Every structure is written in structure tokens, then in C-alpha cells.
Amino acid sequence: MSVQVAINGYGTIGKRVADAVSAQDDMEVIGVTKFRPTIEAEIAIEAGYPLYAGAPEKKAAFDAAGISVDGTINDLLPAADIVVDCAPERFGAANKRMYEKAGVKAIFQGGEKHERTGVSFNSFANYAQALGQQFVRVVSCNTTGLCRTLHPLSEKFGIGNVKSVIVRRGVDPHDSEKGPVNAIIPVLKVPSHHGPDVRTCMPGLDIQTMAVAVPTTLMHLHSNIVELAVEVGPKEVLAAWEDMPRIKIVDHAKGITSTAQVMELARDLGRKRADLNEIAVWREGVHVVGSTLYYYQAIHQESDVIPENIDCIRAMMELETDNRASIRRTNRALRIT
Ligand code: NAD
């Protein structure tokens, strides 16, 4: 029987996780929650997902709006094998207590701190740690991006240390209430939270990160400097990444000169919502001086963590004990080549 998955919070991440779960043959969406009767609630119903009010006291608003719900989260949780919590981070503590009471497994997202679960997850770096766990956190979009490209470097060549400057999108595309609109905001805390967060999946990695937020809504861009343990050329580095699924090498020479063209590529690939689950690395941006590697990578913040959520479900439910088997299944279903 396929694993019964509930999605708590059908927003930016939740709706993508729901579609990705539906595309797999070993799990199914038994319901999604919304807190308010917005257009996304109607879209969930149109997509065929049973809709539940996120809390008992929220149901009346759905009834008043004429949006039919199948019940509340209290009706959904008992039927679920696992919940993917896609609520904003401030609700993590209360939601965890609710899942504990219901005796259901749960995945949290990267907005939560590592301490919420004690296990943070990346499919390539530490799949085995999530096997059979009750609570696991899938790390944030930036941390996922860093783990994707750093883990193969660490495996193949060894890493002395990493320095990364993260240029962050200001807000998600749908968010018209926040900024910056005409400013660049430096994150003054160094290291930014990203470096320590990478270590939750790659313990012992010497990594320092800084971040700035810029007025764009699509993609983060990382400028990475990696001290490798050996001297290798850019071709060997690119070969290490080309061997990996979920990394897409893109060519400036073919017209991909900025994140705008990366997103256009995602649209041309025909992926749902123009998502790019892979991390884009510029071929011509890979430079090696001695044993120091320089490269740029771009992260589609709304979608790179989605395949990781699917692998995390498989690990926690012990559907696959080998990460490569899960990654293959997820990629095939999501058409990630
Ligand atoms: P979002 O605001 O787009 O969606 C959150 C959804 O949760 C909404 O549908 C809302 O109705 C619902 N909700 C509100 N209160 C709730 C509650 N108490 N319990 C359950 N659901 C509730 O948020 P998002 O961007 O999808 O972020 C969700 C999580 O994913 C956060 O931890 C965030 O840090 C993380 N994340 C976001 C991105 C991104 O780019 N947006 C990327 C990676 C990880």
C-alpha cells in the first residue's frame, strides 16, 4: 500500500510537494491544509486534493466563503503515515506538539532550526540519517544548493575549506508586501546562518558564508571559493558535477548569461510552474588556481528542495534504504534528467 502523505500548509512549498508526491508510485496525498479560504484553497480542490482547514477554529471561514472542506487537520492527521509541514516557520513548535500527540511522522522545512528535529536532511549528503526517524528537517533552498555541489567535491577531491557569498532574492514572486525594492541589504552577521546549516548535513565541513538580499524575486546566486585537498583542473570538477543528478551545467556561450535566462530555460523545459529543481552551475564560471576552485551557482528557491522532500519521505518510511535508488525514482517521476 502506498504511503499516506498529508501536507500541512498548501503554500509556495506545500503545493509543490503535493504535486511531487502525486507523481510518485509509492506514496499519495491524502489531504492538504489551508488556513484561509484563498484562491490557493480553490486551486487545491481543482487539483483533486482533499482540503482541510488548518485548525478547527478556521473551518467557519471556509464555510462562509462557500469553499467545501473535508474536515480539519484533526480529521486528517489520524489517517496520515507522515505529514510534510510546509507552514511558516513560526508555527513549527506548536505543529510539532500536534504531530507528537497524533503519533505521526513529520518533515519540517528549512525555516525551522535544526534543533526542532535534531536531524537535517540532504538526499546526497546524509540520507541514511533519516531512515526510520519520526521528525526530520529538509534544509533550506540555499543549504540544499550548497550541499548539492559541495558534497561531490568533498567525496571526489576532499575539501579544505569553503567561502561562499550568497546573493539572495528579496522575496518570492507572489509576495508584494516586502522588499527590498531599491536597495541591497547586507546580512551583517558573519557567518550567515547558511554555513552552520550546511554542517548539519556535512558535519566537520569548514565553511564560512556571507549574504546580501537584492531586489529580485527569482533565484539566489552563490559565489563560491573552495580550497580543494588536491590540484585538479576545471574539466575534472565539471565531470564530477556532470555525473550528479540535480546539478545542471549551463553555458554562457549558449546565451545563459544571468538568472533570467536560467528561469527562461526552466520555462522552455516545460516543467510545472517553470520550476527548476536542479542547481544551475555556469560552465565558464568554473576556475581553478592551484587547488582553489571558484564557481557560481544559481538556486531556484521555490523548487530545489522539492525532490529532497520526496527522498526524505522514502527514508523516514524506509521505502528505500539506498539514497541512489530513491533519487532515481524521484527524478524519473519529476522528469529531472
Ligand atoms: P508560504 O507562506 O508560501 O505558505 C505557508 C502556508 O502555510 C500557507 O498556505 C498558509 O495558509 C499555511 N499556514 C499558515 N499558518 C499555518 C499554520 N499555523 N499551520 C499550518 N499551515 C499554516 O510559505 P513557504 O514559502 O511555502 O514556506 C514554508 C516553509 O518552507 C518555511 O519553513 C520556509 O522557510 C521554507 N522554505 C521556503 C522556501 C521559499 O522559497 N519560499 C524555500 C525553501 C524552504
Whether residue 196 contacts residue 241, with contact meaning beta carbons closer than 8 Å, is answered with no
12 in contact with ligand 1, CB cutoff 6 A: yes
CATH of 141-299, one of 3.40.50.10420, 3.30.360.10, 3.30.750.80, 3.40.50.970: 3.30.360.10
At 305 the pLDDT is 98
Residue 310 is classified by DSSP as H
CA of 86 to the centre of ligand 1 (A): 5
For this structure, is 147 an active site residue? Answer: no
* Average pLDDT along the chain, 337 residues, taken 10 residues at a time: 96 98 98 97 98 98 97 98 96 97 98 97 98 98 98 98 98 95 97 97 98 98 98 98 96 98 96 96 98 98 98 98 98 94
DSSP helix/strand/coil, 228: strand
* CA atoms of 307 and 213, how far apart (whole Å): 25
At 256 the pLDDT is 98
Q: Which of 167, 259, 170 is nearest to 215 (CA)?
A: 170
CATH of 3-139+305-334, one of 3.40.50.2300, 3.40.50.720, 3.40.50.300, 3.40.470.10: 3.40.50.720
Q: Indicate whether this model's pTM tops 0.85.
A: yes
**Sequence spans of domains, the chain:** 3-139+305-334, 141-299
138 in contact with ligand 1, CB cutoff 6 A: no
Give the active site residue among 141, 147, 201, 312: 141
Closest ligand 1 atom to residue 13 Cα is 26
**Residue among 7, 8, 10, 12 to mutate when testing ligand 1 (max atoms within 8 A of CB):** 12
Cβ contacts of residue 48 below 8 Å, gap of 6+? none
Give the residue whose CA is nearest to atom 15 of ligand 1: 87
72 in contact with ligand 1, CB cutoff 6 A: no
**Residue among 8, 16, 86, 99 to mutate when testing ligand 1 (max atoms within 8 A of CB):** 86
Give the residue whose CA is nearest to atom 4 of ligand 1: 11
10 in contact with ligand 1, CB cutoff 6 A: yes
* CA atoms of 210 and 167, how far apart (whole Å): 9
Taking the alpha carbons at both ends of the chain, their separation in whole angstroms is 28
44 in contact with ligand 1, CB cutoff 6 A: no
Helix (H) or strand (E) holding 199: helix 194-201
Side-chain-side CA neighbours of residue 247 (13 Å): 26
DSSP helix/strand/coil, 160: strand
Closest ligand 1 atom to residue 169 Cα is 40
Beta bridge partners of 295: 224
SS3 content of the chain, % helix, strand, coil (to 5): 40, 25, 35
62 in contact with ligand 1, CB cutoff 6 A: no
At 1 the pLDDT is 78
